[in-house]
Structure 1
Amino acid sequence: MSLDLASIRAQFPILAETVHGKRLAYLDNAATTQKPLAVLDRIDRYYRHENANVHRAVHLLAERATKAYEGARDRIASFVGADREEIVFTRGTTEAINLVARSYLQPMLQPGDEVLLTGMEHHSNIVPWQLAGAKTVAAPVRDDGSLDLDAWRAMLNPRTRLVAVVQVSNALGTVNPVAEMIEIAHAAGVPVLVDGAQSLAHLKLDLHALDVDFFTTSAHKAFGPTGFGMLYAKREHLEAMPPWHGGGDMIETVAFEGSTWNEIPYKFEAGTPDMAGAIGFAAALDWIDGVGLDTLIAHEVDLTAYATEQLAGLPGIRVIGTAPGKVGVFSMVMDGAHPHDLGTLLSESGVAVRTGHHCTMPLWQRFGVPATARASLAVYNGHDDIDQLVSGLKTAQRLLG
């Protein structure tokens, strides 16, 4: 099915903003996506008509809030191919990885135990393992930004306690072969965590079919609200893991002599939850299904191909990350220009891109650059956004050259 781009854009009020007198070409979607009216209206409706704490009262507003909140868990589980008991609500991907690091990995660690990563991991998939006490080792990334799978396989060893791998690189757009990696790791008796922060809105997911042990993601990367995400974990892992935060809702009984814990997933969800975040996330997934994930993916594939062709024709511009099958992420360096200066001049042209190391400092050390300017695509982008980016790059070259 073809995508009606004008209709899609009309559902995102922020896209009507102007920037320095120019139309907004929002190309910072790997950092956060914009929110459609369906999400904004659903969150507004919650606060206007359903706002109450969940699980703790029998009055009507609490019943409405609890029904919507727990309905969101069902919706999220269905979207990713999981059971509701396997979905733990978190503040996002970062918190979900930290939960696994502290509650699953840390209790089993012995000196010298390793977590096997790749050279393209986000800091959020590096630092938590180090804080838990593990040695982090990373498989190399090839010159085109793809993973050296043979080297990764060779790095699996008896000290590997966990494999943690990003499904889609936020800096390169590389799509890693996580299904094959899970199969290889499981054959060696090693569990796998997949960082899915960038994959939820770009790939079809079926976590049960994938047989992954842990999967983390964030709502705001997929047209949902900020500050909300989830951890998927196999039931047997969640049953065995101790809670990591204490307080209300994660308990079964409390006494001064000791306490007992709630059933999964609630034993990991202490305190008043982000009800609006859960409900807004579910609304975002409904919106994606309304567009059609196949339609969304096909549009982005076409747009990625167009952007690749247009950027390749610009002398003095180098895109880092050209792996086959990548998604629409373009980290660029310009001859003679610092990425921050480039990003500033692009903003003057109405183009929003990200500048910096994108929380992947080891990756840019591998490529010998301190930072890049990154353009990243979403379903509401079109050829006109790419043309505006290219025009802005040419203007920046004239001004900085």
Structure 2
Amino acid sequence: MSILGIIAEYNPLHNGHIYHIEESTKLTNSNSIVAVISGNFVQRGEPSIIDKWSRTKMALLSGIDLVIELPTVYAVSTAETFAYGACKLLDSLRIIDFLSFGSEAGTITWLNKIASLLVEEPKIYKDYLKKSLSTGITYAAAREFAITNILGENYSKFLKNSNNILAIEYLKALLKLNSKIKPLTIKRIGPDYNSLNDLKYFASATSIRHNILKGNKSFLDKCLPPVSKEILINCFTKGLGPVSLEQFSSIILYLLRSGYDLKNVFDVGEGLENRIYKAAKMTNNIYDLINMVKTKRYTESRLKRILIHALLGINSELYKSFAGPNYIRVLGFNSKGLNLLKLIHTKSNLPIITRVGSYKKSIKDCRLFEKDLFATDIYTLALKGKPASGMDLTQPIIIN
């Protein structure tokens, strides 16, 4: 029996995701799929457009057998930390044979060479990196300079696309973990990940969310499988979305103006907190604040993550305290997934959380899990159709 692992957000699950699931299944000849998905806040530093249980339903109705939540602390982090946390979680299950992810490259060989170089960090790489950093360029640019000087100019094209960058981080994580999971990649088709208006059959999740938040839902039939459209519309009808960063604007600005200590937030440095504090006093809009602060060094996604960290009270110390997820939070499963859970129970050293109310009996250090609970409580502030808090305690596991 071959078991496939997928790391995703399904925010929302669209036709490109269906293609990825089907192609991955064919290439690996897998008969079961485990997906690790972000919870109610995602890697780009935004709330998910609908809640994690609704996205779990999408996954289970689209070929996934077992859905596990990536802890919030990893889900809203840098690409490197996001990838490491997700790969560590999959590896900790002790049942996964393959990890499949999308990429613009569409081939594992080139990406693996880059990942190996970044993990090994030979002296020549460190020398190139140090030399380029001394010129004042960004770390990403310095890294690209070092890689292309060692591996060749042809490799620069693999460092400019979102999916390639994340793919390299997955490969790095598997190497660092010395994991037995075999990686493979499916070539991304359709518009660029950041495309906003290209609403074709394989539209990007970014463009789908952008148009939904603008009030344009007429394109959903074209870009989404029927189950995703039905779940989305059902959520919107019940006042459970769409959710956007703007809905948390006032809370975040309040925190910043009241002197929230940004210096202890992960990925804040070089006096960046002072730029953010200053901008927070000059606008009442979160997107205006981001535009005031962002530069080539401080990208929009990085700034959004920092603001989400402030919103959720995630500091650097929390990252330093854990070497990866220390529990398996089950969001949903089908009959195959139930069998997978039984198998995981016999092989994994991590506690499996199915009854949220009793988590303290299972997890030795509960801080990561309690941050998931808190994240949901904050997320529900944007919902009109749910209780103010405790949704994690009342929402049952999704069983298909």
TM-score (norm 1): 0.26
Q: Which has the larger radius of gyration?
A: 1
Q: Which one has the bigger helix percentage?
A: 2
Q: Which one has the bigger strand percentage?
A: 1
